[in-house]
Amino acid sequence: MATTQQTKWFIWVTALALIMACVPSLTTESIPTVDPGAINTLIAGTANAAATQTAAALPSPTQTPTPVPTRNTETPTPTATSTVIFVFFSPTPIVLPTFTASGSASDNYACQVMRVSPPNGTIFPPRQDFDAFWIVKNIGKRKWDRTSVDYIYSSGDKIHKISSYDLSANVASGGSLDLGVDMQAPKDPGVYTTTWIMRVGEKTFCPLNLTITVE
């Protein structure tokens, strides 16, 4: 049995030797040496060609202009402010009380004009008759005695009919009295002013003014 096994191994070895003798010897071809610089050049050229093709395929970019800020040169327009003007019309002008005195405040004779009628500026037709009145207050130290104190025309337009009047009553200090004058508007249109004055002896005090318009 052992001899049979050895015989088999011998046959296999002999056959293998014959087979190997029949096979032609293989020569290893030499592998060419690759230049690293040539590889880098090839890679760079390929990359450049790819980049060129990609750029040609892409649409041309449109340059967006950068906005340049500009200074606002507009001159501010001032806002119009509405102004309301009230105009009051009165058929008769308002006459404020006025103080008329002669000399110092310690004078014996002085007056305050409290009211004028008709009011200054009143319009009259030509030749119109009217009565003028001044309401006066005695602010002096002495009483106005009707026998010694009167009021007379002093200056200005002569639109009166009588140029002097006596007082109608005595007026104590602090008292008031109406001084009336009979007048007539002139025939010509215009503005007329007359001035009267109170008198005691040679002393005058308390100017009395009136202005009218003739139309």
pLDDT along the chain (215 residues), means of 10: 63 68 49 52 52 52 49 49 43 44 63 97 97 97 96 97 96 97 97 97 95 98
At the fourth CATH level, the homologous superfamily of domain 98-214 is Immunoglobulins (2.60.40.10)
- Residue 107 near residue 101, CB atoms below 8 Å: yes
pLDDT at 13: 67
Q: What does DSSP say about strands 149-156 and 122-124: parallel, antiparallel, or unpaired?
A: unpaired
Residue pair 195/151 in contact by the 8 Å Cβ criterion: no
Neighbours of 185 (CB within 10 A): 21
Residue spans of the domains in the chain: they are 98-214
pTM of the shown model: 0.53
Are 156 and 193 contacting, i.e. CB atoms less than 8 angstroms apart? yes
User: Cα separation of 125 and 187, whole Å?
Assistant: 8
